[in-house]
Amino acid sequence: MQASHNPGQPEGGAAPDTSPIHQVIARARRRLRGQRALDGATTATILAAAAALAVVFLIRIEVVDRAAGLALLAGAAGIIVLGAVGAAARRIDDEHIARRIDRASNLADRLSTAVAFSRGSVPSDDDQTHQLMHAAIRDGVRAVPRADVARATPFRAPADLRAALGFLAISALAAGLAIPTVDRAPHLYRVEPDHGAAGDQVTLIGAHLMNGIAHPLASLPARGALDASLGAPGVPAEATAATIPTPGQTGPMIRGFVPSDAQVTLGAGKDHRVRVLDWAADRILIQIPDGAPIGPTTLTAWLGGRAVGPLAFTVVDKKDPRYHKADSVVLDPDDRAYLDALLNEIKAVAKRDQVPELEDFAKQVEQLLQDAELGKISKEKLLEALAKAEAKLEQHAEPDQGDLDKQLAELGKQLSKDQLTKPLGDALQKPDLDKAQQELEKLAEKLDNHELTDKQQQELARQLEKAAKQLDDKQQQQQKQHDQNQQKLENDIRRLEKKKQEAKTEQERLDTERQLNKLKEELKKLDKDAEDKDQSDQRQALKRLSRDLEKAAEDMQKKPDQKDQKDQKDQKQDKDQQQQQQQASQKLKDAARETGRVDQDRRKQATQKKMSSQMEDLREAMRRAKQKGGKDGRDPFGRQNKNQDFAQRARGQRGQSQAWRPGQGQQPGQGQQGQGQQGQGQPQAGKEWGIGHDENLVGDPTQKSGNTKDGELQGKQGSQGGGTRETILAAAQKGFASERYRDVYGKYHQIVEDVMRTEKLPSSYKYYVKRYFAKIHPATAGGADAGDASGAPPGPPASPEDAK
Amino acid sequence: MTQAMTQAAVARDVESTVASFTADLQRLRTEISTMIVGQEGIIEGVMMCLLGGGHALLEGVPGLGKTMLVRTLAETIHATFSRIQFTPDLMPADIVGTNVITEDHGLKRFEFQKGPIFANILLADEINRATPKTQSALLEAMSEGSVTVAKQTYQLEKPFFVLATQNPLEMEGTYPLPEAQLDRFFFKLVVEYPGKEDLHTILDRTTTDHLPQPQAVIDKSRILEMRELVRKVPLARQIQDYAVRVVLATHPENPEATARSKKFMRYGASPRGLQSIILAAKIRALLEGRYAVAIDDIRHVAAPALRHRMIMNFEGEAEGIRTDAIIEEVLEATREG
């Protein structure tokens, strides 16, 4: 390389050739560039490693997909290349390189000075100076062989090598180990609860359940706001009901989003779809279909075509007590049978006596029992509901029926004095209010048909007026009596209060206070009695009856005057008279209706009174119902099993419980004089008590009204039969279906009923006895029990009052 | 062809010039070394001062051969030599000379009687013992190369080289040279005590009957030629820049100043010091047989050129910091480019 001529050089003086120096410099430059590239790449590696770390993190959290991530990683690697190239490409001055060589080779700046002088960087007009510069250049060229380029530009480890290695290690750790893979695939973890009956709502708990379905973000659920739109626009929801009550949820739950391309199926495959009520990223609310087969199965969610799950699930029977609530009522079959029998009896009596309130009550209790059987309600709730139903039944009941009957009798006595109203009066005296109602209707009819003469009408009016007046007087008298009693009690209370204040001794004060409390209680009772009487439906009806009679009498008494006028007045007055007559008739009809109401209420109360024993038993049975998970729900002595065993044996069977099911028995009975009653066999009469029986001897004890066919067989009573002791023993071992046992049962039951009626026994004792007799009730019992009259299953016999 | 031949001839000429310069200096050094044992650095420094056209200030205890060095130098270059022992009662006229009345053919007139300063080489021994007035008379001659007596200026013969000495031990009754006057010295050379071997040699040479006699190896004119050549030695800008930065780094207020400079310096070296460095570096390059100055040359001459031009602050003085330590740190810290 030739140094260019510069203005400072002498004329004709060419600069010496510096190419050897520049060759050395070029060699050193290459080495320097290499080193710089290494340094630059190392430094850039730190940045690249940090960038790669960020990219790996973004890939892991799926902010960028894998392909884009790989591209970014390649870009991160490119940073290293860029760093190397950038560093190597940086300009390195020749003088700088030459100086490095000078230093490393102890050349006393010969090369750098030569380079500087060859560039003409030292202005001078002196020739000798230029000659010296050229000499210096030549000296530099001569020094080239001594130049140690390798020493001047040694390759060394980059300064940032450790940092770069550290970053690379951290990045590698982060990529390989440090950050766990974020799993965003949809998963199902569990179903809550893991069992459910048909119609129940269950929740599938999972994660990322919105992934992979169409427009997951655009169709987010709109739960929690009543005014929010259901589902998402353009995405049909599976469920159509706007509000779906869920167990344990007090308010309505808004149905949420149900994606169009997702579903939940029951069991294997996609055939049995489940109704989806709500679909969210972490849970799916479904409803078990009604036809779901009972037993273990699976639930699988389908997102698009992808199956998620399955989760194990058990479809249970609603009646299976194992799956009832922890505090639900547990009714063992015998209790349930006993309660059913009681209810059937109540219903039968209510129907017979035409007491719809009682029938409603029975139905209400039946519903409560069903709920209890399904484990829906707790024992407290059951008793509370029963108390409420009873209170409703006894609402507005007459507190003193005798007093009312007396009033009716006095009314009837008054009416009996006239020939026209004698049947009515007699009916009221009995009292036979049904007949009284009919008699009143007859009188009204006679008025309508103008069958009564004026005189008869006047007489009827007088009688009715007298009767109404008598009734009013009686009521006023009673009211007066009540007021007097009340006044007296209040006066006494005031007197005693004063006395209490003036008491001189503590004893006196206590005695006075005791008396005072007693009087207050009496006053309270008096007020309550008065209030009950005021609210009594019968008394209200009786008051209306009195008013109707009085009005009818009034209407009828006006008639003669109007008739007098009729001769003189126009046709219009005729019409008025007819209207008066019709009004009187109408009032009599109203009176008849009120009499009917009194009769109805009276009958209701009578029936209630008759059924009081059954109601008491009902209460006791429910009170004794066990609570699942509670102390009384345990059966440490296996009593339930014993009872079941007894029930099986009592019905003449030791077989499997399946035999209890209705219509299962297929084999003919083997016994002679057999007690098989539900089998389809053809038993033949024998000389002895049979020992064989149909497998399905009595059917399911809890489903007495099942599709079974009762066959009634008359056993022959002969010398072969044993005495009472043997009969009972045989019945206990082989069943209660024999004719002889029925007789023994009836005898004993009657004695017990008499004792229970006459003796004062705690209700719980009575319950035990009654339940016992219900258990040992003859299996073929027929007309002996009240319940059987309506085809009811064997149950507790009605009280002796029922027979009346 | 002719041009190439001309160029080759020129090249040979300049290289031979430099070579003869180096050889002369080497001969001079060798000749001086026959009288002065050891003290190569001092000899070199003195020669640099001589060739650089400056003056040297030698600091050292008595008996180290300072006078012998100057005398030998004078003899080797065939120059006149004077020695003045500075004392407090020494007057300027005692140095530069004075007018005296003389009779010539019955006429009395003033005639200038030259003082000892009229010599090529002057040894100003213990210069700090003279009063400032006397010192200033010498220093005028040192800077101007002339003396003025009674409004009459007398040029001193070239080369004129003053070598002043100072005794660092006896400071009582002395008049330390002001900074401005110190600045006029090209170098301040510190004469170290000789080593063991050198002392043996000194004894061998001075305590026998065979005393060496220095010979003149060059003459005064050659010194002047060499001075001209020195000033023509080229200097790369990068190296000159280094020298500038070294000098600037001695200034505590300068951004390039080192930590110790900032802490202990009151004033840094003057531009005159920088001139001394460059000239001395050029001489050293020639001494080394090179045609241009190297950074090593700058480093080599920095201490003697700057040490007497740097003024310590109170803290530096109190802690006994030497300017050589500051200079050494500055040289270490200053980038080479």
Encode pLDDT of A128-139 as tens digits: 888 888 889 988
Torsional class of A267: left (φ above 0), alpha (ψ -120 to 50), beta (otherwise): left
Range of A243-257, A424-438, A513-527, B165-179 with top mean pLDDT:
A513-527
Nearest beta carbon to residue A116 from set B15, B18, B238:
B238
Give the residue from chain B lying closest to A10, CA to CA: B7
Alpha-carbon dihedral sign for residues A147, A151, A155, A160: negative
In chain A, residues with a C-beta closer than 8 Å to the C-beta of B291 are: 132-133, 135-136, 139
**Is the pLDDT at A718 greater than 60, yes or no?**
no
Q: Do A122 and B237 touch (CB under 8 A)?
A: yes
Q: How confident is the model at residue A649 (pLDDT cuts 50, 70, 90)?
A: low
Range of A67-76, A216-225, A670-679, A772-781 with top mean pLDDT:
A67-76
Nearest beta carbon to residue A128 from set B7, B232, B337:
B232
The pLDDT of residue B274 = 94
Residue A113, min C-alpha distance to chain B (Å): 6
Q: What is the ipTM of this complex?
A: 0.85
The Cα diameter of chain B in Å comes to 74
The pLDDT of residue B51 = 92
Of the candidate ranges A38-47, A255-264, A474-483, B327-336, the one whose mean pLDDT is the lowest:
A255-264
Closest CA to A239 of A272, A214, A264, A217: A264
Closest CA to B130 of B182, B101, B166: B166
**Is the pLDDT at A328 greater than 50, yes or no?**
yes
In chain A, residues with a C-beta closer than 8 Å to the C-beta of B232 are: 126, 128-129, 132
Greater confidence (B3 vs A600) lies with A600
The pLDDT of residue A181 = 59
**Contacts with A160 (C-beta within 8 Å, 6 or more apart), sequence order:** A39, A42, A43, A45, A46
**Contacts with B20 (C-beta within 8 Å, 6 or more apart), sequence order:** none
The pLDDT of residue A257 = 67
The pLDDT of residue B65 = 83
Greater confidence (A630 vs B280) lies with B280
Q: Do A131 and B237 touch (CB under 8 A)?
A: no
What 3 state SS string does A650-707 have?
Answer: HCCCCCCHHHHCCCCCCCCCCCECCCCCCCCCCCECCCCCCCCCCCCCCCCCCCCCCC
**Is the pLDDT at A736 greater than 80, yes or no?**
no
Do residues B175 and B132 lie in contact, with contact meaning Cβ atoms separated by under 8 Å? yes
The pLDDT of residue B294 = 92
**Contacts with A553 (C-beta within 8 Å, 6 or more apart), sequence order:** A460, A461, A462, A464, A465, A468, A584
Q: Is B18 on the interface with A (CB under 8 A)?
A: yes
Q: Do B234 and A136 touch (CB under 8 A)?
A: yes
Q: Do B294 and A110 touch (CB under 8 A)?
A: yes
Strand ranges (E), chain B: 56-59, 81-85, 97-104, 107-114, 121-125, 146-149, 152-155, 161-166, 187-190, 265-267, 311-312
Distance between first and last Cα of chain B = 40
Residue B255, min C-alpha distance to chain A (Å): 23
Q: What is the mean pLDDT of each run of 10 residues along chain B (337 residues)?
A: 67 84 90 86 91 90 83 88 90 89 86 90 89 86 86 88 83 81 90 87 81 85 91 90 93 89 91 94 92 92 93 89 91 85
Q: Do B292 and A134 touch (CB under 8 A)?
A: no
Q: How confident is the model at residue A290 (pLDDT cuts 50, 70, 90)?
A: confident
Of the candidate ranges A43-57, A110-124, B121-135, B180-194, the one whose mean pLDDT is the lowest:
A110-124
Compute the half-sphere exposure of residue A589: CA atoms within 13 Å on the CB side of its CA: 11
Distance, in Å, from the CA atom of A447 to the CA atom of A560, rounded to the nearest integer, reads 14
Q: Do A133 and B238 touch (CB under 8 A)?
A: no
Mean pLDDT of A789-798: 39
pLDDT digits (tens, 9 = 90+) for B184-202: 899 999 988 888 888 888 8
In chain A, residues with a C-beta closer than 8 Å to the C-beta of B20 are: none
Q: How confident is the model at residue A375 (pLDDT cuts 50, 70, 90)?
A: low
**Mean pLDDT (chain A, rounded):** 72
Tokens of A386: 């029963």
Do residues A411 and A470 lie in contact, with contact meaning Cβ atoms separated by under 8 Å? yes
Q: Do B235 and A126 touch (CB under 8 A)?
A: no
pLDDT digits (tens, 9 = 90+) for A538-564: 777 777 777 777 777 777 776 545 444
Q: Do A12 and B238 touch (CB under 8 A)?
A: no
Is the full-model pTM beyond 0.80? no
Range of A310-319, A447-456, A617-626 with top mean pLDDT:
A310-319
Q: Is A117 on the interface with B (CB under 8 A)?
A: yes
Which of A11, A96, A132, A139 would best serve as a mutation to test chain B binding (most B beta carbons within 10 A)?
A132
Residue B33, min C-alpha distance to chain A (Å): 26
Pairing label, strands A273-279, B265-267: unpaired
Q: Is A93 on the interface with B (CB under 8 A)?
A: no
Do residues B251 and B270 lie in contact, with contact meaning Cβ atoms separated by under 8 Å? no
Q: Is B2 on the interface with A (CB under 8 A)?
A: no
Do residues B176 and B270 lie in contact, with contact meaning Cβ atoms separated by under 8 Å? no
Tokens of A648: 């099986």
**Is the pLDDT at A567 greater than 90, yes or no?**
no
Compute the half-sphere exposure of residue B132: CA atoms within 13 Å on the CB side of its CA: 8
Which of A6, A131, A137, A142 would best serve as a mutation to test chain B binding (most B beta carbons within 10 A)?
A131
Residue A102, min C-alpha distance to chain B (Å): 10
| Percentage above 90 pLDDT, chain A | 4
Cis peptide before B271 (omega within 30 of 0): no
> CA gyration radius for chain A?
54
Do residues B98 and B115 lie in contact, with contact meaning Cβ atoms separated by under 8 Å? yes
Nearest beta carbon to residue A122 from set B13, B236, B297:
B236
**Is the pLDDT at A804 greater than 80, yes or no?**
no
**Is the pLDDT at A202 greater than 60, yes or no?**
yes
